[in-house]
Structure 1
Amino acid sequence: MSTDISDPGHGHSPAAWTAVIIMLAAFTLGTVAFWFEQAWLVWASAGLIAVGALVGWILSKAGWGVKGPKYVAKSH
């Protein structure tokens, strides 16, 4: 645990939350598709996981990451 007060943490940004939500939904969809033996949907959800990572990276580069100018850290 860090004692540095100025440390905003990692992943506590709109970019990170958006990426995680997209990838979590894709993983859930892929799991259900695997259960119902829908191979095409399993692969589509795997692609959606990559899309989630790409969206997170794009939002981070657009300033919505932890060190971005559009992100304001909240005190805990």
Structure 2
Amino acid sequence: MSNPIADPGHGHSPAAWTAVVIMLVGIAIGTTAFFLDVPVVVWVSVGIVVVGMIVGVVMAKAGYGVKGPKYTPKAH
């Protein structure tokens, strides 16, 4: 069984959701631009993915991560 103390929370936090949504948008734009052969937009989308990672880390440090004080887990 799982140990609730060592359980990282599986990313069910506002920080994780926000980061993933931003990165998915960047990947979707990048994939479309790659298919249409627009290299500038592909590199912009790489930047969007990096911004998504930074936003996730900043939100987690601001308390919106799994163990942050501003996050309240929902009962399943």
TM-score by length of 2: 0.90
Aligned twin of 1:49:
49
The unaligned stretches of length 5 or more in structure 1 are none
* Structure 2 residues not aligned, in runs of 5+: none
Are 1:61 and 2:61 an aligned pair? yes
Q: 2:38 aligns to what?
A: 38
Q: Pairwise mapping of residues 10-25 of structure 1 onto structure 2 (< 5 A)?
A: 10-25=10-25
How much has 1:3 moved relative to structure 2? 6.3
Between the aligned partners of 1:8 and 1:50, the Cα distance in structure 2 is 23
Q: CA RMSD in A?
A: 1.7
The CA distance in 1 between the partners of 2:2 and 2:21, in whole Å, is: 26
**Which runs of 4 or more aligned residues in structure 1 lie more than 4 Å from their structure 2 counterparts after TM superposition?**
none
- Tell me the CA shift for residue 2 of structure 1: 2.5
Residue-pair matches, total: 75
Give TM-score scaled by structure 1 length.
Answer: 0.90
